[in-house]
Amino acid sequence: MSVFTSWPPNLTTEQLDQLTVLATTYALSHSLLYLPPVSSQNAPPPAPESAIHAPISLIPAPIPRRLFSHALTLQRAYNTLYARVALDVSFLDHVMGHGGVADVDDFTSALWSAWKRLRVDGVPQPLHLGLFRSDYLLHQPTSDDPISLKQVEFNTISSSFGPLSQRVAGMHRNLPINDTTKGLAEGLAEAHRAYDDPDAYVLFVVQPNERNIFDQRLLEYQLFESHRIRVVRRTFAELGLTASISASRALIIAPVIPGLNADPVEISVVYYRSGYAPVDYASPADYATRGLLESSRAAQCPSLALQLAGTKKVQEVLTRPGMLERFLTQEEGAAALRGSWVRIWSLDADDGAGAEEAVRCAHELVLKPQREGGGNNIYRDSIPPFVEQLPPQERAAWVAMELIRPPRSIGAYLVRSGAGRVNVHVMSELGVFGWALFGEGREVKEKQAGWLVRTKAEDVNEGGVAAGFGVLDSVLLVD
Amino acid sequence: MSVFTSWPPNLTTEQLDQLTVLATTYALSHSLLYLPPVSSQNAPPPAPESAIHAPISLIPAPIPRRLFSHALTLQRAYNTLYARVALDVSFLDHVMGHGGVADVDDFTSALWSAWKRLRVDGVPQPLHLGLFRSDYLLHQPTSDDPISLKQVEFNTISSSFGPLSQRVAGMHRNLPINDTTKGLAEGLAEAHRAYDDPDAYVLFVVQPNERNIFDQRLLEYQLFESHRIRVVRRTFAELGLTASISASRALIIAPVIPGLNADPVEISVVYYRSGYAPVDYASPADYATRGLLESSRAAQCPSLALQLAGTKKVQEVLTRPGMLERFLTQEEGAAALRGSWVRIWSLDADDGAGAEEAVRCAHELVLKPQREGGGNNIYRDSIPPFVEQLPPQERAAWVAMELIRPPRSIGAYLVRSGAGRVNVHVMSELGVFGWALFGEGREVKEKQAGWLVRTKAEDVNEGGVAAGFGVLDSVLLVD
């Protein structure tokens, strides 16, 4: 039983800091929560807006297996016992009533009197239900004694912490969760398996001060729980200091601080949750880092090529006659894809005709720049003056796109933490997830991986959930 | 498609307030979360301590089933399409490189140049992985047109909100969760079924300003998700105004405000998460309310009798010779139960001998009052002076109990939101849950229902998790 004195394992401050982040994040994202304290200055909001993690132990408590098992076994006898006690009126009267505890304890007296009154009034006794909790401590009077289990008390009312306790077990043990998460993780896992080193890690390249971390962490948990694949998270700045490529072109990530992953780890898949907008690259060094990562054997999610394939410009080019058919046969669904597109053209199309057309049809158009990040689109009446002042050589950076027109006057209630609820007319955007794993001379492996609905006020031209304009939503299927 | 204009359903402000509480609580406890905003004044804590709910829509968005299905079907073609685009070097060079977008957009240029450099350097191209999201809007130019689906864009990098989206679907649809929670809910459901009115509600009697609401809400969700049983939550004060008993002794609860449950509801089971301590009864009216509830046909969890059966006094009495055997045979585990007990006796035992014994053995004892709530126990050296000044007629309110002695010097790291992490020697308390459903002349139905470990610093005599002394923990099974 030497584990009792050698517990918990010896960890450095840095390791503990890392474990603490993992634990509190796990707790917050697995509903191991409390509402925040309420002070006289701060009344609680009408609907809860935030939560804090419940008090937790970083590392689980050692308990002898046989005693744990014994305590579980005992419970049924306890259940029966207290049921029978509660049914024994004369016993309880004797112990709790006049001449018993009721004489010396006001609270007990009040409870017993209330019960007595019901009986005097002839009210038939109800069906009882006990949700019990029997509490024990390990017991070892001296270090020479065997450890045993002793009951502290048996709770018959308000036995709490069952659900939260289940979550703590999950935190320590990583219980399974579950379809979008699973679908996306399968994609990452497929790439990981293709790398053919089960001990390699998946690298999440992330922004500093990311607020949407749960969305990322849930994928991380899924990867570990379903596939036993571990994740390391790094910003570009951190990777500039810690990423290197081996002679065999393995991507190696050194620890940022001497911590839980004290040895450098090899990376199977690089998954970018940063790097999609200029602001993500603080300096030319960050571009160099991106290149360094892609120079490795690790699968890139996405590769630079794939990121480029996802630009608005490519979206526009694909709509040109015959272009889509370069990539996809009719049997593979080319016509169906095309049927899902609105008209798109480049402002520099046809020697100026593209710009003229955009001015002429301005009222039903949006102009989109190649640049990502939102907030740069030009709508309707703003288009003609914008096009007038645009130097012709910059036209190629803009595409004109027919405005999609959602059904109008659909109401919704949008709720944002700290900003309450608004009732507005909205439009909803459906997103469908998928993944594909592919490479030169290799069959494309791919799947559909779930969906997303985001909703925003219909008079707001653009802006995403993270920017505070839209909200996450789901779908009512109507016929 | 009239649902589009009649959506969402017409709800009163009070109904919306209630829905909002349900939705944000569901979101917080199902990891539909964001970290709080960070300001220049408030740096984020080293480990996250709190979370806010992600922006959400209170009611799901209507989308035609055929279009939703169509969008899911399209995804595989899109996956294939973008994979092939990314593999077509000359296509991408042509569109994105010199003479293309790279000439007019610095960011694209930087990405393309980085890719180009890799190719020039002869770095073999990596395995690509795309985690995609294709975004659509419903499209209906005029109200006479059929609604169709049009693509907004196709994301090949950082496609986010998959996991959170899954949770929103859960919020709107109540997806199943899962053993302590399930076990406890089964108990409530068993009692509900015994009441034999599927439309009845379970009543949770709760404290005002409860902070541990997730622990309660998770049970509520489980009841609905696994058993389709609905819950209504009320404080004693609210019940004083809204509870009544029908001629057939049904317990009827009127709405507190005209809200979601605008009709009065009949109660199958009363589940008390309040009422276990004097402070829960603000006035005699609250005791009257408790009595009123128990005068109904609704199952009581616990009944007054069962609550009384759970007192320390009963715990003491059961340890007396022959007492346990009144309730439980040897075959049913009486000896095993007794083996889990330490010595307990009443201070008024044997005409003063009980008090004398407590003074004599003080160093290995704790005195516990009948009163619940913690903080009133008397330990070791404090016992003799306490007993000296205790009026003999109050002795019956106190039991002396042998101190259980957990193994010493077990270390742990306890983490509390707002208070950071402490490394201390601890003791851990194991709780085992169970339930029993029983009544006069009826077989006891019961089950074991999971467990709980709470850990606290070993030099803290008492105090629970809610009081801020202990933490929730789980178990490492050692042999």
pLDDT in tens, A149-175: 887 778 777 666 667 656 666 665 544
| Residue B479 forms part of a structural domain | no
| Residue B164 forms part of a structural domain | yes
Q: Give yes or no for a cis peptide into B8 (omega within 30° of 0).
A: yes
CA–CA distance, B397 with B380 (Å, rounded to integer): 18
**Percentage above 70 pLDDT, chain B:** 86
- Kindly state the average pLDDT of the residues A452-468: 66
Q: How far is CA A28 from the centre of its chain?
A: 10
**Pairwise pLDDT comparison (B101 vs B86), residue with the higher score:** B86
- Kindly state the average pLDDT of the residues A307-335: 85
The pLDDT value recorded for residue B385 is 96
Q: For chains A and B, what is the number of CB pairs under 8 angstroms?
A: 992
Q: What HEC string does B319-388 produce?
A: CCCCCHHHCCCCCCCHHHHHCCCCCEEECCHHHHHHHHHHHHCHHHEEEEECCCCCCCCEEHHHHHHHHH
**Pairwise pLDDT comparison (A156 vs A468), residue with the higher score:** A156
Yes or no, beta carbons of B444 and A84 under 8 Å apart: yes
Residue A412: how many other CB atoms lie within 10 Å: 26
In terms of average pLDDT, the best of B58-62, B141-145, B172-176 is B141-145
Structure confidence at residue A227 as a pLDDT band (50, 70, 90): very high
Among A270-279, A447-456, B435-444, which stretch is predicted with the lowest mean pLDDT?
A: A447-456
Cβ-based neighbours of A237, under 8 Å, separated by 6 or more = A208, A282, A286
- CATH code, domain carrying A339: 3.30.1490.50
| Residue A321 forms part of a structural domain | yes
- CATH code, domain carrying B451: 3.30.470.20
Residue written as token pair 């320390």: B312
Sign of CA dihedral B333, B335, B337, B340: negative
- Kindly state the average pLDDT of the residues A14-30: 78
For the segment B312-326, what is each residue's pLDDT rounded down to a tens digit? 888 888 888 988 888
Name every chain B residue with its beta carbon within 8 A of the beta carbon of A215: 160-164
User: Catalytic residue at A160?
Assistant: yes
A255, A276, A309: which is the final residue of a domain? Answer: A309
Q: Do A49 and A74 lie in a common domain? A: yes
- Kindly state the average pLDDT of the residues A192-217: 87
- Does position B438 have pLDDT exceeding 80, yes or no? yes
CA–CA distance, B102 with B95 (Å, rounded to integer): 9
In which element (H, E) is residue A92 found? helix A89-96
Structure confidence at residue A298 as a pLDDT band (50, 70, 90): very high
CA–CA distance, B224 with B214 (Å, rounded to integer): 15
CA dist list (Å): A44 to A7, A150, B18, B48, B274: 40, 41, 15, 21, 20
User: Catalytic residue at A312?
Assistant: yes
Q: Do B319 and B254 lie in a common domain? A: no
The pLDDT value recorded for residue B174 is 44
User: Which residue range forms the structural domain that includes residue B260?
Assistant: 176-309
Residue of B nearest to A47 (CA): B21
User: Catalytic residue at A420?
Assistant: no
In which element (H, E) is residue A402 found? strand A398-402
The pLDDT value recorded for residue A462 is 58
In terms of average pLDDT, the best of A415-424, B95-104, B236-245 is B236-245
Name every chain B residue with its beta carbon within 8 A of the beta carbon of A51: 28-29, 33, 50-52, 214
DSSP string over A197-216: -TT-EEEEE--TT-S-HHHH
Residue of A nearest to B370 (CA): A105
A248, A278, A309: which is the final residue of a domain? Answer: A309
The pLDDT value recorded for residue B304 is 87
Q: Do A441 and A385 lie in a common domain? A: no
Per the CB < 8 A criterion, the answer to whether B79 and B159 are in contact is no
For the segment A238-284, what is each residue's pLDDT rounded down to a tens digit? 999 999 999 999 999 988 765 445 689 999 999 998 988 888 889 88
Tokens of A328: 């996809």
The pLDDT value recorded for residue B177 is 31
Q: Do A194 and A139 lie in a common domain? A: no
Q: Do B277 and B341 lie in a common domain? A: no
> A263 CA to chain B: closest CA distance, Å?
23
Q: Do B277 and B340 lie in a common domain? A: no
Per the CB < 8 A criterion, the answer to whether B283 and B235 are in contact is no
The pLDDT value recorded for residue A235 is 94
Per the CB < 8 A criterion, the answer to whether A214 and A228 are in contact is no
The pLDDT value recorded for residue A189 is 94
Among A70-79, A190-199, A417-426, B280-289, which stretch is predicted with the lowest mean pLDDT?
A: A417-426
Bridge partners (DSSP) of residue B432 are A134, B451
CA–CA distance, B340 with B324 (Å, rounded to integer): 13
Structure confidence at residue B307 as a pLDDT band (50, 70, 90): confident
Q: Do B128 and B245 lie in a common domain? A: no
**Percentage above 90 pLDDT, chain B:** 17
Backbone angles phi, psi at A468, to 5 degrees: 95, 5
Residue of A nearest to B190 (CA): A129
CA–CA distance, A475 with B3 (Å, rounded to integer): 13
CA–CA distance, A339 with B149 (Å, rounded to integer): 9
Q: Do B148 and B270 lie in a common domain? A: no
Amino acid at B379: Y
- Does position B87 have pLDDT exceeding 80, yes or no? yes
In which element (H, E) is residue B162 found? helix B162-173
User: Catalytic residue at B312?
Assistant: yes
Sign of CA dihedral A367, A369, A370, A374: negative
The pLDDT value recorded for residue A178 is 31
Among A143-147, B94-98, B120-124, B162-166, which stretch is predicted with the lowest mean pLDDT?
A: B162-166
Measure CA of the first residue to CA of the last residue in chain A; give whole Å: 64
| Residue A479 forms part of a structural domain | no
For the segment B109-153, what is each residue's pLDDT rounded down to a tens digit? 888 888 888 888 887 776 677 777 887 878 887 778 888 888 777
User: Catalytic residue at B454?
Assistant: yes
Q: How far is CA A144 from the centre of its chain?
A: 49
Name every chain B residue with its beta carbon within 8 A of the beta carbon of A478: 1, 3, 62-65
Cβ-based neighbours of A67, under 8 Å, separated by 6 or more = A138, A147, A148, A149
The pLDDT value recorded for residue A246 is 94
- Does position A204 have pLDDT exceeding 50, yes or no? yes
Among A12-16, B388-392, B400-404, B465-469, which stretch is predicted with the lowest mean pLDDT?
A: B465-469
Structure confidence at residue B462 as a pLDDT band (50, 70, 90): low
Amino acid at A312: K
- CATH code, domain carrying B188: 3.40.50.1760
Q: Do A115 and A227 lie in a common domain? A: no
Residue A218: how many other CB atoms lie within 10 Å: 24
Q: What angle do CA B306, B312, B314 make, to 5 degrees?
A: 60
- Does position A181 have pLDDT exceeding 90, yes or no? no
Q: Give the residue from A30, A31, A337 with the most B CB atoms within 10 Å of its CB, the best one to mutate.
A: A31
Q: How far is CA B189 from the centre of its chain?
A: 17
Q: Do B381 and B433 lie in a common domain? A: no
- Kindly state the average pLDDT of the residues B274-297: 88
Side-chain half-sphere CA neighbours of A331 within 13 A: 0
The pLDDT value recorded for residue A304 is 86
Residue B343: how many other CB atoms lie within 10 Å: 13
What is the tally of structural domains in chain B?
4
- Kindly state the average pLDDT of the residues B22-46: 76
Among A246-250, B232-236, B354-358, B393-397, which stretch is predicted with the lowest mean pLDDT?
A: B393-397
Question: Which member of A6, A39, A76, A153 is catalytic?
Answer: A153
User: Catalytic residue at B2?
Assistant: no
Structure confidence at residue B171 as a pLDDT band (50, 70, 90): low
The pLDDT value recorded for residue B22 is 76
| Residue B383 forms part of a structural domain | yes
Q: Give yes or no for a cis peptide into A8 (omega within 30° of 0).
A: yes
Q: What is the SS3 assignment for A77?
A: helix
Tokens of B106: 């610095």
Tokens of A98: 């006049």
Q: Do B283 and B326 lie in a common domain? A: no
The pLDDT value recorded for residue A199 is 93
- Kindly state the average pLDDT of the residues B3-21: 72
Residue of A nearest to B6 (CA): A410
B309, B341, B362: which is the final residue of a domain? Answer: B309
The pLDDT value recorded for residue B32 is 77
CA–CA distance, B321 with B349 (Å, rounded to integer): 13
Structure confidence at residue A373 as a pLDDT band (50, 70, 90): low
**Pairwise pLDDT comparison (A363 vs B55), residue with the higher score:** A363
Cβ-based neighbours of A11, under 8 Å, separated by 6 or more = A19
- Kindly state the average pLDDT of the residues A45-68: 80
User: Catalytic residue at A49?
Assistant: no
CA–CA distance, B390 with B406 (Å, rounded to integer): 30
Yes or no, beta carbons of B51 and A28 under 8 Å apart: yes
Backbone angles phi, psi at A393, to 5 degrees: -70, -15
> B263 CA to chain A: closest CA distance, Å?
23
- Does position B2 have pLDDT exceeding 70, yes or no? no
- Kindly state the average pLDDT of the residues B14-40: 77
- Kindly state the average pLDDT of the residues A5-31: 76
| Residue B53 forms part of a structural domain | yes
Side-chain half-sphere CA neighbours of B361 within 13 A: 17
Structure confidence at residue A176 as a pLDDT band (50, 70, 90): very low
Q: CA nearest A275: which of A214, A229, A208, A230?
A: A208
Tokens of B50: 């709190």
| Residue A478 forms part of a structural domain | no
- Kindly state the average pLDDT of the residues B396-400: 86
Q: Do B318 and B292 lie in a common domain? A: no
Nearest-CB residue to B428 (from A63, A213, A434)? A63
State the pairing for strand pair A201-205/A230-234.
parallel
| Residue B478 forms part of a structural domain | no
Yes or no, beta carbons of A28 and B20 under 8 Å apart: no
